[in-house]
Each structure stands twice: as structure tokens, then as C-alpha cells.
Amino acid sequence: MKVLLTGGLGYIGSHTAVELIENGFEIDVMDNLYNSSEDVVEKLKQITGKQVKFHKIDLLDMDSMDKMFSEGKYDAVIHFAGLKAVGESTQKPLMYYENNITGTINLLKCMEKYNVNNIIFSSSACVYSDKNVAPFTEDAILNPINPYGRTKYFIEEIIKDYCFANKNFKAVILRYFNPIGAHESGLIGENPNGIPNNLMPYITRVAFGKLKELSVFGNDYDTPDGTGVRDYIHVVDLARGHLAALNKINSFEGYKIYNLGTGHGYSVLDVVNTFNKVCGNKVKYKIVDRRPGDAACVFASPEKALNELGFKTTKELEEMCLSSYNFEKNNK
């Protein structure tokens, strides 16, 4: 099976590329390098021993997209490419809608033209309403509260409509919870530009003295220690979820939606304390006000992915923290 990975040099795409290559899939990777680096192509070769074919193409550049599809003969696409910074999306909503939604429509048009009928799409837990009570099942109420989250919600709807119109077309929509961690080689991982918004990259930068201390956003939530609770999933487990989805795609019609999470919630202080335990007390923190828009407690019901995809996570919080630390150490 030949698979195109859009956004395949990014954090989740690169880890999925490794899993696919190691499981015998032929892959091409496309990315516009907006939030990634071409060095990752070499890193993938170092990890897998295989040279990956890379197309530096923007989803919005229809001529280049068309050319890639005309030559590629793909059986499936895993669609990671997109902008993902929640805060930036509230400042630049049109950029987010154009990149993520128009980009996806361009991709679907190419898939239609070249008769590529299988897609796996990177959606997010942020499509759920924070009024749901965890664990969140796939049929929980949807109500994204920022433009980034709405792009994910709208794309899910577009994919569903297209599946209805084209009976040959099949989609697996994966709603990721909070991916952290890095490949055991320490060669690929999450490396955001500027000051990180997300918890783990902030922690690893504090650990190496690049940032002074972590601000914990609120300790007055209705959670066991008062800090926010999330479902952290190791990125290598998450990558394996895409493999499970690809293996499933020939066995149903239309679309399927799955959460990819562990089913366990950890608080901000659980993460900081675990990180300090396995990586040597490097992270100081202070409690500050809540961050606007944050929910108290979000974690997945992983049952549907387990029952239908046979997907189960294998890696614990300690391993997530240690691998994140090792990646940051390698990239100092």
C-alpha cells in the first residue's frame, strides 16, 4: 500500500512515517515546512534505513498538488498538514480557515481526480464541548471554542459530506487527545518555534534552562489537586493508531470516528512531578491564574478504538517524560 503523508515532517507525521516504514508501507511525504524542517527527512533515514521521498509543496498550491498526485499513484492519504496554534488562530482566523479548510478541499479534489479513496484525518479532542463529563466518548457533544478547533470540526463535516456523495470514498477521523513524548532515538520530537504554548515543550525548556520556570495555569479547578487534567498519549502510541486505522479502512463503508487517548487523566502537577522524578528535579513552577478557555478535565474513552481497531496504548507517563527530555537534550 502506498500512502501519502501531508504534513509528514511535523511532530506526529514524522513519528507515523517511522511506524509505517517499519511496517512495510511505501510512503511519500509532503510538507510546506511552515512548522518543520527538511532535516527530518535525514532523521527518518537514520532511524529506518530508508530514504523517504519528500515533496516540498503547499496544500494551497493546486498545480504542484496535481502534479504530485498525477505521479504518486497513492492508495491512501494521512492528512496531518495544518496550522495548530490555538492562540494564533484567534488572532488570525482567516489564515487558519484558508490553510486548514481550503487546503483540505484542495486535497480532496486531487484525491477525487486521481481516484484515491482512503483518507485518515488528524482531528482533535478540541472539537468536543467542555460541558461533557470525562471520559469523552465519540458521540459526546461537539462545540469547539476557538477558530482552530472549528477548522477541525468543519473539516470533519466536509469529509462526512464527501463520503456521502462518493460511495467509494472512506475516511477515518482520529480525534487526538494530548500527544507528548518523542521517538526513543531522540532524533525526532516536538520542537515548536518561539515560546511553547503546550505543557510538555515548556517543561523541557525549563529543564534545560532555556526558560526560567513553568507557570501552572490555575490550581482551583474541580480536580484532585486543583490543576487541569488531560489525557497525555505518547506520540509513538499515537502513530501506531494510524497504522491500526489504515489496516481497518478496507473493512467498512463511509466514515468512522475514533478517539486516540489512553483513557487516563493526569493533572499538570502529576506531569511536573513525574518529569522531575525521572529527569532529576529540574523543573521549578509557580501557580498563576487560569488560562482563558481551558477546561478542567478532559480525557478520552478509548473503548471504541480498542473494540474496533484493536488499538491500545502501551507507554506510561514516565516514558513520555523521559523521551521528551532526551529529545530536548539532543536538540539543545
Residues that are catalytic: 148
* Residue 102 amino acid letter: T
Binding of ligand NAD at residue 58 (CB under 6 A)?
A: yes
Cell numbers that stand for 141 in this block: 457533544
Asked if residues 255 and 160 have their Cβ atoms less than 8 Å apart, the reply is: yes
Binding of ligand NAD at residue 259 (CB under 6 A)?
A: no
Pick what 197 binds: ligand UFG, ligand NAD, none; C-beta below 5 to 8 Å, kind-dependent. ligand UFG
- Least distance between ligand UFG and beta carbon 327 (Å): 16
Binding of ligand NAD at residue 36 (CB under 6 A)?
A: yes
User: How many positions of this chain bind ligand NAD (CB under 6 A)?
Assistant: 27
- Least distance between ligand UFG and beta carbon 227 (Å): 7
User: Which range touches ligand NAD (CB under 6 A), out of 64-72, 74-82, 157-165, 215-223?
Assistant: 74-82
Output phi, psi for 243, to 5 deg. Answer: -65, -45
Identified binder of ligand NAD from the candidate list 35, 89, 204, 227, rule CB under 6 A: 35
* Residue 139 amino acid letter: D
Q: Which is nearer to ligand NAD, 99 or 274 (CB)?
A: 99
Non-local CB neighbours of 10 within 8 Å, separated by 6+ positions: 31, 35, 36, 80, 81
Tell me how far CA of residue 63 lies from CA of 48, 57, 66, in angstroms. Answer: 31, 10, 5
Asked if residues 266 and 234 have their Cβ atoms less than 8 Å apart, the reply is: no
State which residue has the least CB distance to ligand NAD: 10
Asked if residues 25 and 1 have their Cβ atoms less than 8 Å apart, the reply is: yes
Q: Which is nearer to ligand UFG, 69 or 80 (CB)?
A: 80
Binding of ligand UFG at residue 137 (CB under 6 A)?
A: no
Binding of ligand UFG at residue 294 (CB under 6 A)?
A: yes
Identified binder of ligand NAD from the candidate list 72, 103, 147, 265, rule CB under 6 A: 103
Binding mask 57-96 for ligand UFG (x = CB under 6 A): ---------------------------x-x----------
Q: Which is nearer to ligand UFG, 86 or 173 (CB)?
A: 86
Asked if residues 116 and 70 have their Cβ atoms less than 8 Å apart, the reply is: no
Asked if residues 13 and 77 have their Cβ atoms less than 8 Å apart, the reply is: no
- State whether the Cα torsion 175-180-186-192 is positive or negative: positive
Asked if residues 231 and 261 have their Cβ atoms less than 8 Å apart, the reply is: yes
Which alpha helices (H) appear in the chain, and where do they start and end? 11-22, 39-48, 62-72, 86-91, 93-96, 103-113, 147-165, 199-207, 235-248, 268-279, 303-304, 317-330
The Cα–Cα gap between 77 and 61 comes to 17
User: Which range touches ligand UFG (CB under 6 A), out of 11-19, 53-61, 195-203, 237-245?
Assistant: 195-203
Q: Which residues bind ligand NAD (CB under 6 A)?
A: 7, 9-13, 31-36, 58-60, 80-84, 99, 103, 122, 124, 176, 178-179
Q: Which residues bind ligand UFG (CB under 6 A)?
A: 84, 86, 124-126, 177-178, 197-199, 202, 214-217, 228, 230, 268, 291, 294, 298
